[in-house]
């Protein structure tokens, strides 16, 4: 019982630990951006914010001799943007969670079907035997389904990117802001 209480306290602590930033700052910071300007210059970093006519990118620069990296903000106006790709940094975790839930549900269904077949074939040796193969198959099916679904979901979630071709066009820039709801 004590270990359950400790586990709940730890989960509550970690769920509230990262709430020092506002929600809008968190929403932007979870995207990695790879931008190609009209001059074919490449800039990669973390999306800081999107203004009415520009994108602000935070680029980490590792300086020798310093423990913490420095950060430089680049503001790129819409008329300089050729193409960029946004990658959601937390996409793998979300995909894993969804995959684990779906996999566990499908595993339960498969385990139930296999367990009922095993129950029909099982002949108890005595009338007092308490053995239910259904629960074994349910447990095995849900664990295997959860593992497979989580692995597949993490792979799919980490590979999802959003690509935008702006090519210096303000209308396409506004269309991108509308799609992303920034």
**CATH number of the domain to which 29 belongs:** 2.30.30
Q: How far apart are the first and last CA of the chain?
A: 45
pLDDT at 97: 86
At 142, list the tokens.
């849900």
**Residues 145 and 174 grouped into a single domain:** no
Q: Residue 148 falls within a domain, yes or no?
A: yes
Residues 20 and 84 in one domain: yes
pLDDT at 110: 86
pLDDT at 122: 60
> Is the CB of residue 35 less than 8 Å from the CB of residue 44?
yes
Give the domain extent around 154: 91-158
Give yes or no: residues 41 and 97 share one domain. Answer: no
Structure-model confidence comparison of residues 20 and 111, the more confident one? 111
Question: Is the same domain home to 97 and 132?
Answer: yes
pLDDT at 170: 92
DSSP class of 1: -
**Mean pLDDT within 145-169:** 86
> Do residues 50 and 137 both lie within one domain?
no
Residue 64 has pLDDT above 80, yes or no: no
Q: Tell me if 34 is assigned to some domain.
A: yes
171 and 84 in a common domain:
yes
CB 150, CB 98: distance < 8 Å? no
Largest Cα–Cα distance of the chain, in whole Å? 82
Q: Is residue 17 part of a domain?
A: yes
Q: Is residue 7 part of a domain?
A: no
Residue 17: how many CB atoms within 10 A of its CB?
A: 8
Q: How many domains is the chain partitioned into structurally?
A: 2
Q: Which residues contact 167 (CB under 8 A, 6 or more apart)?
A: 38, 81, 82, 83
- Please work out, in degrees rounded to the nearest 5, the angle formed at the alpha carbon of residue 84 by the alpha carbons of 160 and 48: 90
Quote the CA–CA distance of 145 and 153 in Å, as a whole number.
12
Any domain includes 5: no
Same domain, 82 and 167: yes
* pLDDT score recorded for residue 142: 84
Asked if residue 162 lies in contact with residue 35, where contact means CB atoms within 8 angstroms, the answer is: no
User: Are residues 114 and 175 both part of a single domain?
Assistant: no
Residue 4 lies inside a defined structural domain of this protein: no
Q: Is the pTM of this model over 0.75?
A: no
Name, in order, each residue with C-beta under 8 angstroms of 19's C-beta and a sequence gap of 6 or more. none
Residue 31 lies in a domain: yes
Structure tokens at 35: 């931008």
């Amino acid at each position: 019982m004590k270990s359950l209480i400790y586990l709940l306290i730890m989960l509550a602590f970690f769920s509230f630990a990262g709430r020092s930033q506002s929600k809008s700052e968190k929403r932007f910071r979870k995207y990695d951006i790879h931008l190609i300007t009209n001059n074919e210059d490449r800039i990669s970093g973390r999306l800081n914010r999107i203004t009415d006519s520009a994108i602000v990118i935070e680029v980490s620069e590792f300086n020798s001799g310093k423990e913490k990296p420095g950060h430089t903000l680049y503001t790129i106006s819409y008329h300089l943007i050729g193409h960029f790709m946004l990658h959601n940094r937390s996409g793998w975790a979300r995909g894993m969670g969804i995959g684990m839930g779906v996999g566990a549900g499908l595993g339960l269904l498969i385990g139930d079907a296999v367990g009922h077949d095993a129950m029909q074939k099982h002949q108890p040796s005595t009338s007092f035997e308490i053995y239910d193969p259904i629960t074994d198959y349910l447990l095995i099916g849900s664990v295997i389904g959860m593992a497979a679904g989580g692995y597949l979901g993490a792979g799919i979630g980490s590979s999802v990117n959003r690509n935008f071709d702006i090519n210096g066009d303000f209308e396409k820039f506004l269309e991108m802001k509308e799609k992303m709801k920034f």
